[in-house]
Structure 1
Amino acid sequence: MRADGLAGGEGGADRLGELIPAALRGMAAGVAERGGPVPAGGPAAVAAALAGEGGALPRHGVGAEAALEELSRLLAAGSADPADPACAAHLHCPPLAVSVAADVVASALNPSMDSWDQAPVASELEREFTTGIARLCYPDAAAPDAVVTTGGTESNLLGLLLARERDAHVRPVCGVNAHHSVARAAWLLGLPAPVVVACEGDRLLPAALAETLRDLGAPAVVVATAGTTNTGTIDPLPEIAEICRQAGARLHVDAAYGGMALCSTALRAQLAGLEQAGSVALDLHKFGWQPVAAGLFAAREAADLGALTVRAEYLNADDDTEAGLPDLLGRSIRTSRRPDAFRMAVTVRALGTDGLGALVEHCCDTAGEVAAVVDAHPGLRLWGAPELSTVVLRPVVAENLADAEADELVARVRRALLEAGTAVIGRAALPTGPGGAPQLWLKLTLLHPETTVEDYRPLLDRIAATAGAELVANRESPVAS
């Protein structure tokens, strides 16, 4: 059976031009079929819909156009759609069309970023783009550099790896608010479990950090957060950087969420102190509107990235690098990797850093307006003013319940909306105060660059109404879970 055409080479663009409309027809049909932010019915309904389409490995193919249209429809109908305002649970953005179009080109040409002879211009474009990102994070550093990663998890792993390469006995230190990937990175690298520092208002307490470093008795790498997953809060970076300087600790900032606020003149001051960190994690599939994956890792000193150096005769032989062929293998902990920098570079070329900054500002401004509506809503309670674009709230009807019953109600509200296919909202366990027991809250992570507060009013009303309905249903049926 013929392969049905290649995406690259002579005629490849023409064949893609024939096939892409079939994929887009299926996608449009699936979106219409879904009719909301997420398929209704939960996991069982989605599994049943897939089972009805036949096996995943048929012996006989149906042809390229039919396969594309059928499975694109199925994927769109069964996906959570971050382009719907009611899909606001996670740091999961609706990608810009220009980035997706660029991704098609990159996939068709398929540069493999592990050696220059597989990716001549893609490697040079990546170098220019990462150099610009490094300067964005470290405008005054002598020789900063950055590499492409799969996201914040890999970037945090690199942050701890570079610290370990400087001192094998380094001890990770982070706040209670730190991303789970910090502990996972320590485990993967054979480091001790992180020493966890107290937070207040989802923000690391500098005094608690200073005390921890005084008592640690070991070299430390401190991980601060610029945009927590739960609330979008930014740690006090200038104070943390000064404490690290005095204690001789290395500082890594997980700015996977908030880092691209550096593109905004209005928001950049919130990240003051980031430039004093030894390394920074960024992620453009949050504020950057890229398809997954789109991570970046910046280091203040390019020499630190020498820790990634590895030799493989067939990829970066010494005589090749001495003859001037760039060494791409030392630009990642991965070997084969996609040219993810291409679509990021296309997006920045299209919008400019000012344009990206304006989109970040829009999301943060919208979050502030949504928070004001929550604060005035008779059925909802606001956790606090958003620092980035996360709005944390709780149904008022949960306030007069015992703690466990209130948390159960909040969890049921989220699942009820998900099961109905009407909303995808997040959850966050947040302490009521220093040392207090955590309460379960709902959260909206607003990453849609075109919505307004009016797009979220129906969602807020739906959350309050669902909470009331769940409370009544639970009282009428005490055995309900």
Structure 2
Amino acid sequence: MTIDGKTVPTQRSVASPNPEVRHAEARRHLFGAPTADAYREALLLGVDAVASRVTGVEGPFTGISPDALAPEVDQVDLDRPLGDSAAALAELEQLYLRDAVYFHHPRYLAHLNCPVVIPALLGEAVLSAVNSSMDTWDQSAGATLIERRLIDWTAGRIGFGLDADGVFTSGGTQSNLHALVLAREEAFARAGARTSEARQSLLPRMRVLASEAAHFSVSKSAKMLGLPMEAVVSVGTTADRRMDAASLRRECDRLRAEGLTVMAVVATAGTTDFGSIDPLAEAADVCAAASTWLHVDAAYGCGLLVSPTRRHLLAGIERADSVTVDFHKSFFQPVSSSAVVVRDSRMMSHATYYADYLNPARMAERRIPNQVDKSLQTTRRFDALKLWMTLRVMGADGVGALFDEVVDLAGAVHEMLAADPRFEVVGRSQLSTVVFRYRPAAQDAHLADDANLHAREALAASGEGMVAGTKVDGRHFLKCTFLNPRTTPGDVAHVLDLLAAHAAEFIEAAPRGRAADDAS
């Protein structure tokens, strides 16, 4: 096998029958003072392997299929170790690095994945080696205070006061779940449902209002919280794909008139498809009038919190009860780095449980800061360190400037598509997505859905670019999501030409007179 252009012998290690020899062999792989030099050498090998691959990729993906790659992975004998890091990395080059999807490449235009900044990678290396566990102070001294300081900083950027609190999570889905757990508990408290019987009686009558463009994790969370299937009520959107405030008010009034409890309203600050931001101030007005929890899912739009030019798009977010932020989307952080932040720190107690073997109540009485007191997770990585290092090296303005660049690019691409007769473009994002599709000639209009599906798949298979797909009013569309400041209009124009060529080839090869399955 080769790594970094050099041939590396593949070693097949067979365990020694001597237990003492086996134990000594295993111990040399433990990180600690006796193996610090081995740690340095191993990391340098890994860094060189990744850096060489990143600088050498010609496209965001090789286009390999699962059926082609699976046999290579399946043939690995995990009971026969290779014996050293160089051999393992050489094998990994063939199984992973060669065919990984590289978000740093300027023609990766698909999902909400970002290239990462180097200070965050430094933080990742440090936190992985020290391996703090963010549940109790005696497992994460220092790390606990850094995470809490970052939560305070994020709350300040949102516009919350000094009573705010929060915790880092694994991602937007968990943050949304956590927020709705708190909303459910608050709804129980407001209704005076203190017994199990009262809670079970109220639960089927609880409802969550969210726009029809909200993230699927809202419905998923409702199911996990024991709410009925009909609990999430979709609110209509306006022509610009934002929640219609008047419809929200009507739905809220209707549900209350029917004797149902509006447990929460979820407003989205950056929908996945259209990057649209719901009218946050108007949603806050509705929630205030109805004494209902307002959660803002800003997993995507949180980059606006540090934008030098677009912070005003989040006006009203400071009136939310809880907010989801995904630093691994809009702050250029490695996965995972997310948080849920609440306006009133007392709300976090709804997730608090004490265990004598971990975080006994007496520790809270002594003001020992244990993050497990407010988290849905117990063992948890020190992911906050990546953001800390980013802010200490680049500053918030640096991150915001990068986010502004991708939003500017999306606007330029929208204009490019609007002027291109080969395509039709839908709406205009407030963030960095563009939804569009190839437009065949009138006589081939019935082939549009299949042509666009084919174009996306053919582009990915070629490895020359990647875009996402979605449906708009039941029709298949393509989607570009821009989170790479190194992507240029020229990169996008090249991808559009490729998509148009693939779609045109599909239409040319289609039998004349063929009707698409859904043409009727």
TM range (shorter): over 0.9
Q: Name the CA shift for 1:50/1:6 in 2 (closer, same or farther; >3 Å).
A: closer
Q: Tell me, yes or no, if structure 1 residue 107 matches structure 2 residue 150.
A: no
Question: Structure 1: any 5+ residue segments left out of the alignment?
Answer: 432-437
**TM-score computed with the length of structure 1 as normaliser:** 0.92
Question: What is residue 435 of structure 1 aligned with on the other side?
Answer: none
Tell me how far apart the structure 2 counterparts of residues 378 and 227 of structure 1 sit (CA, whole Å).
28
**Which of 339, 353, 363 is the matching residue for 2:406?**
363
Letter in 2 for 1:46: L
Question: What is residue 410 of structure 1 aligned with on the other side?
Answer: 452
Tell me how far apart the structure 2 counterparts of residues 351 and 476 of structure 1 sit (CA, whole Å).
57
Superposition deviation, residue 41 in structure 1:
3.6
Tell me how far apart the structure 2 counterparts of residues 400 and 287 of structure 1 sit (CA, whole Å).
42
Tell me how far apart the structure 2 counterparts of residues 366 and 144 of structure 1 sit (CA, whole Å).
34
- Check the 8 A contact 1:30/1:73 in 2, yes or no: no
Tell me how far apart the structure 1 counterparts of residues 254 and 141 of structure 2 sit (CA, whole Å).
51
**Which of 123, 129, 138 is the matching residue for 1:117?**
138
Superposed CA offset, 1:393-431 (max 9, x none)? 11121765456x422221111111112222221112123
Q: Tell me, yes or no, if structure 1 residue 147 matches structure 2 residue 170.
A: no
**Which of 440, 452, 457 is the matching residue for 1:397?**
440
Q: Larger Cα Rg: Structure 1 or Structure 2?
A: 2
**Which of 82, 87, 107 is the matching residue for 1:86?**
107
Letter in 2 for 1:196: S
Question: What is residue 174 of structure 1 aligned with on the other side?
Answer: 210
Superposition deviation, residue 209 in structure 1:
0.8
Letter in 1 for 2:247: A
Q: Name the CA shift for 1:11/1:269 in 2 (closer, same or farther; >3 Å).
A: farther
Superposition deviation, residue 364 in structure 1:
0.4
Superposition deviation, residue 478 in structure 1:
6.3
- Check the 8 A contact 2:144/2:370 in 1, yes or no: no
Tell me how far apart the structure 2 counterparts of residues 31 and 352 of structure 1 sit (CA, whole Å).
25
Q: Name the CA shift for 1:48/1:422 in 2 (closer, same or farther; >3 Å).
A: farther
Q: Tell me, yes or no, if structure 1 residue 163 matches structure 2 residue 183.
A: yes
Letter in 1 for 2:37: D
Q: Name the CA shift for 1:70/1:30 in 2 (closer, same or farther; >3 Å).
A: farther
**Which of 237, 246, 259 is the matching residue for 1:199?**
237
Letter in 2 for 1:146: G
Matches within 5 A, 1:428-467: 428-431=470-473, 438-467=474-503
Q: Tell me how large the CA RMSD over aligned residues is.
A: 2.3
SS of 2:40 mapped into structure 1:
helix
SS of 1:426 mapped into structure 2:
strand
Superposition deviation, residue 476 in structure 1:
7.0
SS of 2:357 mapped into structure 1:
helix
SS of 1:46 mapped into structure 2:
helix
Question: What is residue 6 of structure 2 aligned with on the other side?
Answer: none
Question: Structure 2: any 5+ residue segments left out of the alignment?
Answer: 1-21, 189-201
Tell me how far apart the structure 2 counterparts of residues 380 and 242 of structure 1 sit (CA, whole Å).
40
Superposed CA offset, 1:279-317 (max 9, x none)? 101101100111111111110111111111111112112
Tell me how far apart the structure 1 counterparts of residues 34 and 443 of structure 2 sit (CA, whole Å).
67
Tell me how far apart the structure 1 counterparts of residues 155 and 441 of structure 2 sit (CA, whole Å).
46
Which stretch of the first structure deviates more once superposed, 272-281 or 36-45? Answer: 36-45
How many pairs align?
A: 471
- Check the 8 A contact 1:157/1:181 in 2, yes or no: yes
Matches within 5 A, 1:67-466: 67-139=88-160, 141-168=161-188, 169=202, 170-192=206-228, 193-200=231-238, 201-217=240-256, 218-220=260-262, 221-397=264-440, 401=444, 405-431=447-473, 438-466=474-502
Q: Name the CA shift for 1:165/1:152 in 2 (closer, same or farther; >3 Å).
A: same
Superposed CA offset, 1:199-232 (max 9, x none)? 2332111111111001002332100100000111
Question: What is residue 33 of structure 2 aligned with on the other side?
Answer: 10
**Identity value in percent:** 36
Q: Tell me, yes or no, if structure 1 residue 59 matches structure 2 residue 80.
A: yes
Superposed CA offset, 1:229-267 (max 9, x none)? 011111111112112222222210110000121111311
- Check the 8 A contact 1:428/1:441 in 2, yes or no: yes
- Check the 8 A contact 2:439/2:448 in 1, yes or no: no
Superposition deviation, residue 441 in structure 1:
1.1
Which stretch of the first structure deviates more once superposed, 177-186 or 145-154? Answer: 145-154
Q: Name the CA shift for 1:398/1:160 in 2 (closer, same or farther; >3 Å).
A: farther
Displaced runs of 4 or more, over 4 A: 4-8, 28-34, 398-403, 476-481
Tell me how far apart the structure 2 counterparts of residues 289 and 398 of structure 1 sit (CA, whole Å).
40
Superposition deviation, residue 330 in structure 1:
1.2
Tell me how far apart the structure 2 counterparts of residues 166 and 452 of structure 1 sit (CA, whole Å).
47
Superposition deviation, residue 130 in structure 1:
1.1
Tell me how far apart the structure 1 counterparts of residues 457 and 424 of structure 2 sit (CA, whole Å).
19
- Check the 8 A contact 1:23/1:69 in 2, yes or no: no
Tell me how far apart the structure 1 counterparts of residues 112 and 87 of structure 2 sit (CA, whole Å).
33
